[in-house]
């Protein structure tokens, strides 16, 4: 793969700085829509009560929470991230909703779990930040059971004319400025815009998944006119 992701040390220190205002930034800049995208991912995954789920690069834990609501008390959810500061608020958020979720520090490119341990393995808005996304996809597939699913939610580029121009104006000009005002982390929001504007999406991303040879089928669903995409791979 010729794609080179960002330096992990820079990413870790960027998220350490962003962590205290991450949720507020997300809520304001997406007008709360990011919650709907995570719910949609869980719906598409057809997760069932009692299943075992791993959410990688879980950050403040929102996707892990959505999964736990579905797997219920007989199921289990583990959230992992390589930046401990990003996970600081996650346990309390889960507890506030009486949800029992485990959180632990781990790099998605080297997961401390056995082969085939989970029914569903997910990552939302994390894969773009990983140095070698294909290695991360392979590692996620390794810990997924045969017949289980790897699920990835990530920004991409829109195709729809007009909507695309309006959105690009917002993403390039407004988001870094407002993001900076809300969180004090202008650079992080400039990085978000730059990295998303060139990150492989749709068939290009699916070809990364297919090249790992871990999946019997792969597919994608676009959300909000293609602002973001949900990728699904069924483990062989």
Ligand X SMILES: C[S@@+](CC[C@H](N)C(=O)[O-])C[C@H]1O[C@@H](n2cnc3c(N)ncnc32)[C@H](O)[C@@H]1O
The residue from 67, 113, 118, 125 that contacts ligand X (CB under 6 A) is 125
What is the Cα–Cα distance from 149 to 151, expressed in whole angstroms? 6
Q: How far is the CB of 170 from ligand X (least distance, A)?
A: 18
What's the CA dihedral at 45, 47, 53, 59 to 10 degrees? 50
- Confirm or reject binding of residue 134 to ligand X (CB under 6 A): no
- Confirm or reject binding of residue 193 to ligand X (CB under 6 A): no
Q: How far is the CB of 31 from ligand X (least distance, A)?
A: 15
- Confirm or reject binding of residue 119 to ligand X (CB under 6 A): no
CB 153 within 8 Å of CB 38: yes
Q: How far is the CB of 175 from ligand X (least distance, A)?
A: 13
Q: What's the count of helices (H) and strands (E) in the chain, helices before strands?
A: 10, 7
Residues 76-105 that bind ligand X (CB under 6 A): 81-83, 86
Question: Starting from the edge strand earliest in sequence, which strands make up the sheet with 144-155, in order?
Answer: 102-105, 76-81, 52-56, 118-124, 144-155, 228-235, 215-223
What is the Cα–Cα distance from 150 to 219, expressed in whole angstroms? 11
Write each residue from 43 to 82 as x if it is in contact with ligand X (CB under 6 A), else as -, in one continuous string: --------------xxx--xx-----------------xx
What is the Cα–Cα distance from 179 to 230, expressed in whole angstroms? 24
Residue 91 vs 163, nearer CB to ligand X? 91
Q: How far apart are the first and last CA of the chain?
A: 22
Residue 216 vs 221, nearer CB to ligand X? 221
Q: How far is the CB of 102 from ligand X (least distance, A)?
A: 15
- Confirm or reject binding of residue 130 to ligand X (CB under 6 A): yes
Site residues, ligand X (CB under 6 A): 8, 11, 15, 57-59, 62-63, 81-83, 86, 107-109, 124-126, 129-130
């Amino acid at each position: 793969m010729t794609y080179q992701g960002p330096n992990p040390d820079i990413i870790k220190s960027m998220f350490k700085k962003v962590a205290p205002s991450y949720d507020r930034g997300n809520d304001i800049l997406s007008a709360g829509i990011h919650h709907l995208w995570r719910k949609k991912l869980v719906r598409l995954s057809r997760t069932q009560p009692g299943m075992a789920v791993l959410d990688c690069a879980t950050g403040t834990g929102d996707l892990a929470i959505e999964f736990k609501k579905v797997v219920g008390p007989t199921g289990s959810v583990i959230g992992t991230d390589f930046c401990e500061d990003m996970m600081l608020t996650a346990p309390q958020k889960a507890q506030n909703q009486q949800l029992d979720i485990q959180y632990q520090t781990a790099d998605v490119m080297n997961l401390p779990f056995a082969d085939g341990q989970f029914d569903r393995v997910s990552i939302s808005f994390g894969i773009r930040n990983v140095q070698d996304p294909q290695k991360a996809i392979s590692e996620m597939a390794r810990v997924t059971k045969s017949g289980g699913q790897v699920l990835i939610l990530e920004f991409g580029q829109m195709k729809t004319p007009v909507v695309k121009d309006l959105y690009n104006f917002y993403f390039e000009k407004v988001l870094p400025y407002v993001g900076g005002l809300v969180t004090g982390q202008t650079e992080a929001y400039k990085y978000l815009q730059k990295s998303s504007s060139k990150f492989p999406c749709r068939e290009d991303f699916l070809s990364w998944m297919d090249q790992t040879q871990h999946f019997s089928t792969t597919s994608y669903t676009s959300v909000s006119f293609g602002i973001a995409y949900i990728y699904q791979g069924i483990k062989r």
